[in-house]
Amino acid sequence: MITAKSFRLLALGFSLTTAVGFAASAGENWENLCAKCHAPDGSGSTKIGKKLKLKDYSDASVQAAIKDEDMVKAIKEGVTADGKERMKSFKGDLTDPEVADLVAYIRKLKK
């Protein structure tokens, strides 16, 4: 017979497994969090991207100049310039594995 405590632990285990199973893919995170500024192809050719003069992540030379650690830092901490926020922090929105997957996704945008 399952006790109430055992049932709660079992339910918690299922809910944690389900939550992990629904983590967004890197492509979905890019589309939902990044593409509105950086463009779906990473070119930065959106209205916002042009205004902020964003880098073209589809350009191999741009990608070569950026370290993975710098991308991770920008994603987690956001980006500021001249005291103004240019990109919000996604630290509370993305897990470390999701950030790593997003960096790998960005690397695949180069032509």
Residue 7 domain-assigned (yes or no): no
CA torsion angle for 68, 73, 57, 80 (degrees, to 10)?
A: -150
Residue 34 domain-assigned (yes or no): yes
Q: In the prediction, which pLDDT does 75 show?
A: 98
Residue 17 domain-assigned (yes or no): no
**Which range marks the domain in which residue 81 is found?**
24-107
Residue 41 domain-assigned (yes or no): yes
The span from the CA of 30 to the CA of 16, in Å, is 24
Instruction: Tell me the CATH number at 69.
Output: 1.10.760.10
Per residue in 55-85, pLDDT (tens digit) is: 999 999 999 999 999 999 999 999 999 999 9
Residue 33 domain-assigned (yes or no): yes
- The whole model's pTM is what? 0.78
- The domain total for the chain is 1
